[in-house]
A and B are shown apart, each in its own frame.
Chain A
Amino acid sequence: MRPDEELLMSEWALSGRAASDPTKAEAGVTPIPNGGVSSVSAANSDTWSDIGKIGLASVPPKRSDNEGETRLQRRDMRPGLVIASLILAVLMAAAIAPNRLADGDPLEGNARQAFRAPSFAHPLGTDENGRDVWTRLVYGARPSLVLGFAATVFAVVLGAAIGLFSGLSHPLVDNFVMRVADVLMAFPEYLVALVVITYCGHGTLNEIAALATASVPRFARMVRAQTQIIRRAPYVEAATALGLRGSTVIIRHVLANAIRPVLVLATIDVGLKIGAGASLSFLGFGAPPPSPEWGLMLSVGRDFLANAWWLTAFPAVAIILTVLSVTTVGRELVRRSEGRGL
């Protein structure tokens, strides 16, 4: 995964060039020979047939120029993307106004209603304390999303700051910072998160801090690699040749272009962070039991696997759908920004 990211970053910088190189797009496009209005499609001749053709979060998209433009048109209305966006919209709604989607209290139980299987009154059943599972799931959306976004934002902000500082510093400083990041990246992110929790203790805030800290070196490296590439880009040299101030060139051209692709990639990280956060809650490092956290619900439901399947199945589905839709939308963003400079 990590080598891929490096690859991605370098591809990113070159993507515009590759996508528009007329010799590479021979079959897919029909440029007008006299240098007239040539095709935008040349830039878009990278095609992905479907949701997952680019792999995991960090897999750089590949173009195959021989494929036609039909898929290109189809890609804007892929059903997978539409469903993912809808799910995301519902999640947002649940996070903002959970009381609109579910009436009742996620914490208040009714012992006589315990372990009710899914029915008309309780579409997703009730838990061991007689609380409505649907209500608890709806109220669990906010902590999940907040955790995913907050952890990603912290990681990106810190990582970008370090990456930019390193990439623009003297090579000696840069080398030192990157060696430290290299060493940090030798530690698996999940384990770094556990180390942070060991030091800081349990709880939602510490969970966020743990997940964010763990991916800071990764983002730092990405931003730094991007900075290095863009510093040498012909457009930066052209700006230098115009006689612009060094600081102006860096702010106007280097910074914005170095961070942009990383931001887009980070959207995919949000999904992964939601999953990782749920894992930590599942292990008991998150908020304490009564709170409606999905990971925690799964963890508790595990004790009743034999007699109440709905206590685990529905939170599981909720987590999968959330991660899946955030990832899908994130990838679409990556796809769209690819080669177009956003």
Chain B
Amino acid sequence: MMEALIVVSSAVCVAAGVSVAVMLVREFPRLRNR
């Protein structure tokens, strides 16, 4: 049970980080200062 929680928590953290990096690359030109 605890092993599964640790693995899933770590995987969620990493997946969120990768998703944000991809989003930033795609959206950056639109998001910067005018």
A binds B: no
Residues on A close to B: CB < 8 A? none
Residues on B close to A: CB < 8 A? none
